[in-house]
Structure 1
Amino acid sequence: MLIVQEWDRWIARRRLARKRDARKETLEFFLELQNAKSPLLDFNPRGRDKWEIVHRWLVVAGRVAVKKK
């Protein structure tokens, strides 16, 4: 998935730890894509929040962990 590949490049430039609760980092990543008008965000969210979708894709891909409550 292209969004995951872009995340990998983005996170490598920031030297942040992988696989940690990264809601703040995924939001920053999403906002940078949004501000750049990235075609990676040209998908139909079907009424859902695009950032939540991108965050979930990264969780499912094993790039970020979900913080246990």
Structure 2
Amino acid sequence: MKNSTKTIENRQKFLWEVLTEITDRISHIKAWLNRPLEKFFCIEWLDAMHYKVKVNGKNHIALYNIPGI
């Protein structure tokens, strides 16, 4: 299968855009990790109880419980 120069250029452009997006996300994550911390944080727990119930062809239903302080 032959690749035209236009196809190769399009692939390179796509890969460059993907790499740019990844590096932008990494810099945002690093900035978030290095941010100053606040004195108090809200604490939340996420828990779920799973029940085997057949409703509209579904076999499991989860009941979510989210208590917070």
TM range (shorter): under 0.3
Relative to its length, the structure with more strand (as a share) is 2
Relative to its length, the structure with more helix (as a share) is 1
Superposition TM-score, scaled by structure 2 size:
0.25
Tell me the TM-score normalised to structure 1 length: 0.25
Query: Higher relative contact order by CA 8 Å / sep ≥ 6: 1 or 2?
Result: 1
Report which of the two structures shows the higher radius of gyration computed on alpha carbons: 2
